[in-house]
Amino acid sequence: MSRKLWIPIAAVAALVVLGSAGAYVYFFSGLRTSPASLALSSPSASSTASPTGSTTATGGTGTWQIGSGSLVGYRVKEQFAGQASTHEAVARTGDVTGQVTITSSGGTYQMTSAKVTVQLSNLASVDQVAGYNVTNRDRIVQRSLNVSSFPTAVFETQNVTLPAGAETGQAVTVSVPGKLTIHGVTKDVTATLQLRVSGSTAQIAGSIATNMTDYGISPPSVGFTTVQPAVTVEFQLDLSKG
């Protein structure tokens, strides 16, 4: 091959390589977004009209059912090949059922029991990565969780006394011990949650920090992406009196 012909071919090849590298940097550098953590929604004007809201010393007691609008999901850190920073992958589902029981004794509230059941097959990614269809991740997650054999995740709490203010409709923060079952494995965990009761409605939001390897789940590693084993389970539950 003559030198005159070789030079333009080499130049074209170099442009192809540079173009591919440029595309990689474009797709997987800063063009990634993740939604904010689930949290309590802003209270309505009617619920904040008075210092005590519409909740009395016993108005929040009873059994509360998890209703529509509730969300449960996870957050994990993904590492793209060639990238120094991690990306937070986030998936959620509204397929959530369960109930929470609150009692009152001696002027204080207690969450005597709570059970939350999540259908894992409907988890859907809600983050964005330019140039990548994040729904491909959902299929990988379902295989890792083996949802055909273990279709649900379940969190059950232990009895816990709620902080002062819960009886007046204020948002309170409390650590709640319980058991989380995923992939057929049950582990002791602690949920950090916020609770607000207002009349016949209530809302709980919070998170559980855990590790997928504790449940016999190996962190996925697919092509240009590896996943860290730490997982944050997050939830936002809308409840009404049963």
For the segment 143-158, the average pLDDT, to the nearest whole number, is 97
Q: What is the pLDDT of residues 190-215, one digit of tens each?
A: 999 999 998 889 999 999 999 999 99
Closest CA to 234 of 12, 28, 78, 74: 74
Q: What is the pLDDT of residues 108-117, one digit of tens each?
A: 899 999 999 9
Q: Is the pLDDT of residue 3 over 70?
A: no
How far apart are alpha carbons 67 and 25 in whole angstroms?
A: 43
How far apart are alpha carbons 212 and 228 in whole angstroms?
A: 9
Q: What is the pLDDT of residues 84-102, one digit of tens each?
A: 788 999 999 999 999 999 9
Return the structure tokens found at 190: 């602690």
